[in-house]
Amino acid sequence: MFYDVVVNDWGETTYVPTTLGNVLLMALLAVLLAGAVIFARRYAAGQNPQPEEPAKKGGKLTAKQLVFCAMSIALGTILSEIKIIDFPWGGSATLLSMLVICLPGYLFGLGAGLMTSIAYGVLQLLINPYVLFPMQLVLDYLLAFGALGLSGLFAGAKRGLLKGYLIGILGRYVFTVLSGWIFFAEYAWEGWPVLPYSLVYNGIYIFAEGAITTAVLLVPAVSSGIAAVKKMALS
């Protein structure tokens, strides 16, 4: 009802959402985005309390946070298709897509960050599903992408975006390694045990993009620009 079992061109049995399954995924995405806005509004109100005219101020905040969270998901999806490095053995470093998904957590705290990043994972599942096992879906799409929302742990810290980004990609790395270890043993390089293969394979493309992004974040002009964006998001 919610998915079809399809054998792809490589002879793999995959699970592809049906029309009803896609509708449910879109509904889930909308719920997650709404949850992100609620958490973001609470965080922004705590950072910048406005006791006067609460209803009017709250409406403006909600609209602004909806735009920031939705734009992060949309821009992250676009940037995920722009590959800076496409590794011949699989995986790629994209144009700062993980950074963009980490932004809502840095701007609006942990709750908004997790909701937005899980919503991004749901959108990736809608656009480009690659599911061999139901639990692999949970690890690769919900938990791995959702871990990018851990950036919210450092929302109020000095160099919070850099710290949050690093913990976010580390979280994603952990879940992708687990997925590779559990579900993709047959793809291990010849002579490699499954766990070392998964550690190296996933580490190459995730940390390659991480290194590029870290270099960008250390540019003073970029740091100043991001600080200005956060001030605008919370005002």
Q: Is the model's pLDDT at 52 over the cut of 50? A: no
Surface-to-core class of residue 53, CB atoms within 10 Å of its CB (0-12 exposed, 13-18 middle, 19+ buried) = exposed
The domain of 178 spans 3-234
- The pLDDT tens digits for 116-166 are 999 999 999 999 999 999 899 999 999 999 999 999 999 989 999 999 999
Distance separating alpha carbons of residues 198 and 200, to the nearest angstrom: 6
* Best CA proximity match to 125, nearest among 14, 7, 9: 14
DSSP code at position 142: I
- Mean per-residue pLDDT over the chain, rounded: 91
At residue 44, the pLDDT reads 83
Q: Which of 20-29, 56-65, 176-185 has the lowest mean pLDDT?
A: 56-65
pTM: 0.92
At residue 13, the pLDDT reads 84
Average pLDDT over residues 38-62: 66
At residue 64, the pLDDT reads 85
Q: Is the model's pLDDT at 176 over the cut of 70? A: yes
What is the number of structural domains in the chain? 1
CA–chain centroid gap for 89, Å, is 23
Residue 15 belongs to domain with CATH number: 1.10.1760.20
